Amino acid sequence: MSVSLSLRDVCVTLGGTEILHGVNLDVAEGEFITLLGPSGSGKTTTLNVIAGLEDTTRGHVLFDGKPVEKVPPHRRDIGMVFQSYALFPHMTVGQNVEFGLGTRKTPKAERKKAVERSLELVRLAGMGGRQVRSLSGGQQQRVALARALAPNPSVLLLDEPMAALDKQLRETMQVEIKRIQEEVAVTTVAVTHDQTEALTMSDRVAIMRDGVLEQIDSPEVLYRKPATLFAARFLGEANLWPVEGGRIAGLDAEVAARNGTAVVRPEDVLLATRAPDHAPRLTARILASSFQGTRYRIEAQHPTLGSVVASVPPDVEPATVAPGVEVELACRVAGGAHVIADVEPDQQPAVAELA
């Protein structure tokens, strides 16, 4: 598959402070990549560089191998959905969707068909005559998406597209946006701080930290095999346990790396009564327990490992996971516990598997 969008050693300085430090990224044609990171990590600046809304201090932005740093935003063949949607309240739904077509001087004969096609794609067929102010938040988001897609752009950019929606609608729209993106096969780059959103929609997720890309990988690899401690801590919850002399201290488990940090997710820490006989055991005292519908999240204290977070099935007797109770847990590591091995500061992080 050919590369549709590339960033090459992109640096951005704003107000005398360097915000992006040599960002390199390749996005394949039709791929959906999400930039994920904490506030101030540089993800929105990166999106604005791609859109042409922010100038680079150094480096190149390439569309299909051609530099576009000097190409203004309206000539970059992009569609963009802003966090606020940026719809025109005095226009109808159809007029909003048509707006981008007019600025691109699309012949009038083609505009109506493009508007109808875009509204049908986002499941708003027949609503072109409605006033924008009469729509729900989810419908307004669909209009913004239809407007961005109507000109058939080569790159779609999404800036925190679900930030204004409530949780239930946000989850529905995550699936919808991915469906639409796959149907039109448009190269897409999104920005979000919501981890679930990134994992749900993306082919790959790029974790950003302090203006650099920390790790770029599929959602599954990022979650199961983070390359750095920052990635392990940032994406979901993780038990990070020290490895010394090839063993996890306080747990009867050998690892391939002599020193480093084992990454064990809460769902891999089980009640011993529900674990395989060969699974390494540990006894800890529960500090906190919360029922979350699909699970109990328990936090316990172990004399050697310290904090232990476990995800327990919701059908257990509540008294068995109450604060103060001493509980026997087991680690499901038969498939291999991921270890981030100790490295020198200027070396690439190494990983190892549980023996």
Q: Calculate the alpha carbon distances from 303 to 65, 207, 250 in Å.
A: 56, 33, 8
pTM of the model: 0.88
Please compute the mean of the pLDDT values over residues 32-36 and round it to a whole number: 97
pLDDT at 351: 41
| Top-confidence residue, 168 or 209 | 209
Tell me how far apart the alpha carbons of residues 231 and 340 are, in angstroms, rounded to a whole number.
11
Beta bridge partners of 205: 34, 217
Tell me how far apart the alpha carbons of residues 336 and 345 are, in angstroms, rounded to a whole number.
26
Tell me how far apart the alpha carbons of residues 351 and 355 are, in angstroms, rounded to a whole number.
13
Predicted confidence (pLDDT) per residue in 230-279, tens digit: 999 999 899 999 888 888 878 877 777 778 999 999 999 999 988 888 88
What percent of the chain clears pLDDT 70, i.e. is strictly above it?
A: 95
Confidence of residue 1 (pLDDT cuts 50, 70, 90): low
Tell me how far apart the alpha carbons of residues 305 and 79 are, in angstroms, rounded to a whole number.
49
The CATH number of the domain covering residues in 3-224: 3.40.50.300
Predicted confidence (pLDDT) per residue in 73-92, tens digit: 989 999 999 888 889 999 99
Does the pLDDT value for residue 28 go beyond 90?
yes
Enumerate the H helices of the chain as residue ranges.
43-51, 93-103, 108-121, 137-149, 167-184, 195-201, 219-224, 229-234
Confidence of residue 35 (pLDDT cuts 50, 70, 90): very high
Confidence of residue 72 (pLDDT cuts 50, 70, 90): very high
Q: Hey, what amino acid is at 11?
A: C
What pairing do the DSSP bridges indicate for beta strands 187-192 and 32-36? parallel
Specify whether the CB–CB gap between 96 and 143 falls below 8 A: yes
What percent of the chain clears pLDDT 90, i.e. is strictly above it?
A: 72
Tell me how far apart the alpha carbons of residues 32 and 50 are, in angstroms, rounded to a whole number.
15
- Domain spans of the chain, in order of start: 3-224, 237-352
Using alpha carbons only, give the angle 16, 20, 23 rounded to the nearest 5 degrees: 150
Does the pLDDT value for residue 119 go beyond 60?
yes
pLDDT at 343: 54
Residue with tokens 């938040």, as numbered in its chain: 137
The CATH number of the domain covering residues in 237-352: 2.40.50.140
Tell me how far apart the alpha carbons of residues 126 and 136 are, in angstroms, rounded to a whole number.
16
Q: Hey, what amino acid is at 195?
A: Q
39 burial (CB, 10 Å; 0-12 / 13-18 / 19+) is: exposed
Tokens representing 303? 């004399």
pLDDT at 334: 52
pLDDT at 165: 82
Residue with tokens 């000097």, as numbered in its chain: 70
Specify whether the CB–CB gap between 185 and 178 falls below 8 A: no
| Top-confidence residue, 129 or 245 | 129
Q: Hey, is 180 helix, strand or coil?
A: helix
Residue with tokens 């007797």, as numbered in its chain: 317
Q: Hey, is 26 helix, strand or coil?
A: strand
